[in-house]
Structure 1
Amino acid sequence: MKNQNNYADIILESNAIFTSKIGEDEPFSGIVVIKDNKIIAVDQKQNITKWIGSKTKIYKLENKLICPGFVDNHVFFTGYVWSKAGVDLSNVHNSEEALLAIEEYAKNIPNSKTILGHCLNMNNWHEVEKGSAVLDKVFKDRPVIAFSKDRSECWLNTIANQKYGIEHDKCYAEACFKLFQELLKEENIVDEYNNFSKLLASRGVTSIKEIGFDDYYGFTDILEQMELKGELIHRINLVSQPVSNNANFEYGDTCSKRFQNSFIKFMGYNLMVDGEIASHEGELLKPYKDIPDSCGKYSPDYKTLEETAQAADKKGFRCALHAEGDAAVRKSIDIIERCRLINGKRDSRHAIIDLELVHPDDIVRMSNLGITAINYVQIMNCTSKYSDFYAQDLIGDDRINNYWPYKRMIDKGVNICCGTDLPLDIPNIPLSVYFVTSRRFPDGNPLTGFNKKQSMSKADILRAWTIGGQYANFSDDKLGTIEEGKLADITVLDNNIFDLSVDEIKDVKVCLTITDGKIVYNTLNKGK
């Protein structure tokens, strides 16, 4: 009898294997051979028989595209929970209907719990309706908060304002940290994380950078238990974002020692720099076109940011600075550069996130300093029509060539990876390929593409979603490419995007996701 230990557990056979390796820009025909949790061979189809044992599952994928597993390098599980907490108010039209829906929902939850709602549309409400008075009449002693779909505003009563410090028009994530402390302790939070994990698996995501505010309010304990029980189906690169206080380095030290296995590791700190350009809160090098005397509504606290980054760098942690405007990007680079000057040169892989507007000189500096760019390559999906896009009105034609400058980053040798800021958007890698190759918004405009010179090739964007993300997370030695010896984190798309037109790419879906050699999502027929 043949020794089954010599044979594959899974064989993926396809006409389209994209390795994500530099220099291999086109997919090729062959097989990917998986044993236990590793890729043990990438071979020619005619050699398939030597890998087949009695227990081998063979997936004949024809023209389906095999890729390394995707990496979403900026997700926010707490935000995912927040975005769907409480009663769904998407179908209410006014304050009266909203109040009725909230009252009905409140009957079915314990009196001790805060009443929450989501997807509330207050666009057509009078200002007086948005106030606390309507809710206060019914709920005097019980907090009520109903958030809009984008969570940019909320409807809340007085007691909720007093308890959480949240205001109607100041309810962004960082302002809601007290509420998050409660959400992460809900009885069903493990179920929520499993749902979150399944969502990611359905999009081919096998690794994430996950943001936890402060010390993650105890949720780190839950993640540890899930890892020990073998329940995690994606790898977690955990970061702490200081919100209620300064960076908690004791927490970082503890996590670094605590997580030594392959599914969770502590990376460092996420630091917010400026705000959104769309809200005039991004810090620009030159004034806004529509507000000629302003480079941004407020100036970030660069002194504290630099102190935090230097302290984190000295302890060997990676920092990811969130900057939108070109001035904020430049000053973030300055901070990282001074970390090197003061603490010494090392393989730090510090990163800057978002990078809406970037001066060409600073891209060169990013390359020289080894700074990774974590780009929101699906960001066009957040503006349904090109006519609603704000950039040219806010920054003018003279700086438009510096907007989302992906191609320039690649040409200058900057490591690029991708994030969705989930729940800002849900990862959809084929859709992102459409956006960054066509540079068109969801309505298909402009036909010639927005700042089309900065588009990316299909190969480059897939590399950004795979090896680029793994490099940023110090995992490129074992993940991110399809090659012998790498861990078997693999995604299969139901069509070969290299053979499709730009418009056809949007309809491609993930049909198979493998994490650590185990199938975690499958819409194919069972292996033969």
Structure 2
Amino acid sequence: MKLFYSFLLFPLVFFMVRCTSNKEVDLIVYNAKVYTVDSVFSQKEAVAIKGGIFIDMGTSEEIQSKYIAKDAIDAEGKPIYPGFYDAHAHFLMLADMLEQVNLNGTKSYDEIIQKLIVYHQKNPEKRWIIGSGWDQNLWEDKRFPTKDSLDKYFPETPVFLSRVDYHTALVNSKALHIAQLDTTRPVPGGLMAVDSAGNFTGILIDNAMELVSRHIPVPEQHYLLSGLRKAQDSLFSVGLTSIVDAGLSPEKLDYLKKLYQRDSLKIRNYAMIGGNARDIERYIREGIYESERLTIRSVKLMADGALGSRSACLLEPYSDDTLSRGFLLQSPKELDDIISKVVRTPFQVSTHAIGDSANRLVLDTYGKYVKDGKKRRWRIEHAQVVSSSDFSKFAQFQIIPSVQPTHATSDMYWAENRLGVDRIKGAYAYNKLLEQYGKLALGSDFPVEHFNPLYSFHAAVARVDKNGVPTGGFQIENAITREQALRGMTIWAAFSCFQEKKRGSIERGKDADFVILNEDIMTIPDNQLRDVKTLRTVIAGETVFLRE
């Protein structure tokens, strides 16, 4: 009888020893198709997470047998990817836009006026009417609008309407009066448009915009936080876990630091220092700032404006305006002075450059100072139009191209009119840029474009818009592969922010940031990519979005 009991007891003891010897973890995700985006682009079935970190990955059987988890997620065979990383965005601008009049997609100036009337009736307490997103290139009459209709319907309420690229604004006479602008006032790096009689039209371009925008009342901080949380929720809903906030004033950076110190925001933010030389010098003196979710170690400079506003700086005149080549927002000397100071620090330089003249200036100025480009990881934001003789400089000086694929499919309807049949070949040339540096940092530039990273993914690999236009793809020779696009919005984006050892792939010791989608973006047809839904978004092992 004792022998019989001993035989019963042995399996029980063995089972208990085995269970207690298993490592405890916080979360196991199993029964999945995990794209790790590691160096060999390997796939796994399951991951184990502890303390917000990936500690292991393997088959479902391996992970479930090695670990005891407080919680588990059955992915039901769905694909998992590293948390998506938007390498160029404007978080605070998106938060502002959610509280403004949304003019995206408007087909005429009359439609804009109707939207403003409805908004004003619903919000009579608003001291200013603020809107954004209009694009005259979508209208039958593609000329810039004037303030006449705004003056007619809103004679006593100041109006400020940003173009879709945020490089041009339309304002009314009330706003101009508040700003006390004079048509004789020079605006370096900007333009206050006037008519044939020398009167303001209401159009302000680039640096001229700030002359009016500085008078717009700043919302109270609790409204700002509310807007940021709404924007954050929107980003989580499409699988974004990290973003680059591409250029913020010291005041906004200080505010973000307070919010993250209070754990008021969860999205990971690589915030760039914008502003004038004095602002930049102040932050450089303070040194690199890095917390778990907020990093400040890049200086954002502005070389020129935007192609849609004809303020991008070109080597030759615009094809549809032979009197203009655009202009620089900062003089070559100003750019050189700032870069010469930053090069003596560990800070990164990231410069907005759209036109081929601006890109040449920035590349040559970088090359003057950067002798260790691989270590520095300096970036050009947009790199939108590049002269054929300048592409090799990205490789020569080891400059990272930070590009936004949906710009190509948004601009393709009118970009050739701006640039001509020859110059357009060097525009939105993502594959050619990839060949030079070996990596691309992919972003959206939201709210200029939609924040859904899968729209950028679709535009990068198919080179068509949401309607599948054009057949065969816009300059399809500059499409990139799906693996390259996924790397661009995960590990390469992280690399461009010095974070590839912490995030950007699903590997041991990295932040447990990941997204579960309802379809596999690596295998489904191109025309289905924009319809893919995010089922779950996780940051540091915590679910921050779950589709009901």
**1:170 aligns with one of 182, 204, 208:** 204
Structure 2 equivalent of residue 364 of structure 1? 392
Secondary structure in 1 aligned to 2:257?
A: helix
Q: How does 1:118-197 map to 2 (within 5 A)?
A: 127=146, 129-130=148-149, 132=151, 135-136=154-155, 139=156, 143-145=158-160, 152-158=168-174, 161-163=177-179, 168-170=202-204, 175-176=209-210, 178-179=213-214, 182-183=217-218, 185-197=220-232
Whether the 8 Å contact between 2:178 and 2:215 is mirrored in structure 1 is no
Structure 2 equivalent of residue 379 of structure 1? 407
**1: CA distance between counterparts of 2:315 and 2:375?**
29
**1:495 aligns with one of 509, 519, 524:** 519
Q: How does 1:447-466 map to 2 (within 5 A)?
A: 447-466=471-490
Choose 32-41 or 458-467, whichever is displaced more.
32-41
Structure 1 equivalent of residue 188 of structure 2? none
Choose 144-153 or 451-460, whichever is displaced more.
144-153
Amino acid at match of 2:310: H
Whether the 8 Å contact between 1:208 and 1:234 is mirrored in structure 2 is yes
**1: CA distance between counterparts of 2:123 and 2:219?**
20
**1:22 aligns with one of 32, 39, 59:** 39
Amino acid at match of 2:61: Q
- Percent identical among aligned pairs is 21
| Pair 1:350–1:180, CA change in 2 (3 A) | farther
1:461-485 deviation line (CA, Å, top 9, x unaligned): 0000011111111111111111111
Structure 1 equivalent of residue 378 of structure 2? 350
**1: CA distance between counterparts of 2:61 and 2:116?**
67
Gaps of 5+ in 1: none
1:219-270 deviation line (CA, Å, top 9, x unaligned): 3343223323333221111112225x6543113433x36x332211112211
**1:482 aligns with one of 497, 506, 524:** 506
Structure 1 equivalent of residue 424 of structure 2? 400
Structure 1 equivalent of residue 359 of structure 2? 329
**1:298 aligns with one of 327, 336, 339:** 327
Secondary structure in 2 aligned to 1:482?
A: coil
**1: CA distance between counterparts of 2:535 and 2:180?**
42
Amino acid at match of 1:467: I
User: TM-score normalised to the size of structure 2?
Assistant: 0.81
**2: CA distance between counterparts of 1:299 and 1:20?**
39
**1: CA distance between counterparts of 2:22 and 2:209?**
54
| Pair 1:33–1:324, CA change in 2 (3 A) | same
Whether 1:200 and 2:235 are equivalent positions in the alignment is yes
Whether the 8 Å contact between 1:289 and 1:396 is mirrored in structure 2 is yes
Number of aligned positions between the proteins = 502
Secondary structure in 1 aligned to 2:154?
A: helix
Structure 2 equivalent of residue 265 of structure 1? 295
Structure 2 equivalent of residue 228 of structure 1? 261
**1: CA distance between counterparts of 2:547 and 2:111?**
41
Amino acid at match of 2:342: A
| Pair 1:501–1:101, CA change in 2 (3 A) | closer
Structure 2 equivalent of residue 239 of structure 1? 272
1:392-447 deviation line (CA, Å, top 9, x unaligned): 22323333332222212222334211122211022222222221212123332221
Q: How far has the Cα of 1:118 moved from its partner?
A: 5.6
Q: How does 1:421-440 map to 2 (within 5 A)?
A: 421-440=445-464
| Pair 1:319–1:46, CA change in 2 (3 A) | same
Structure 2 equivalent of residue 72 of structure 1? 86
Whether the 8 Å contact between 2:444 and 2:453 is mirrored in structure 1 is no
Structure 2 equivalent of residue 275 of structure 1? 305
**1:248 aligns with one of 264, 276, 280:** 280
Choose 143-152 or 228-237, whichever is displaced more.
143-152
| Pair 1:180–1:272, CA change in 2 (3 A) | farther
**1: CA distance between counterparts of 2:228 and 2:122?**
23
Higher-Rg member (1/2): 2
**1: CA distance between counterparts of 2:132 and 2:314?**
33
Secondary structure in 2 aligned to 1:424?
A: coil
Q: How far has the Cα of 1:18 moved from its partner?
A: 1.5
Whether the 8 Å contact between 2:131 and 2:161 is mirrored in structure 1 is yes
Amino acid at match of 1:240: I
Secondary structure in 1 aligned to 2:367?
A: helix
**2: CA distance between counterparts of 1:392 and 1:89?**
25
Secondary structure in 2 aligned to 1:188?
A: helix
Choose 460-469 or 222-231, whichever is displaced more.
222-231
| Pair 1:9–1:381, CA change in 2 (3 A) | farther
RMSD of aligned alpha carbons: 3.3
Amino acid at match of 1:249: E
**2: CA distance between counterparts of 1:18 and 1:519?**
19
| Pair 1:212–1:446, CA change in 2 (3 A) | closer
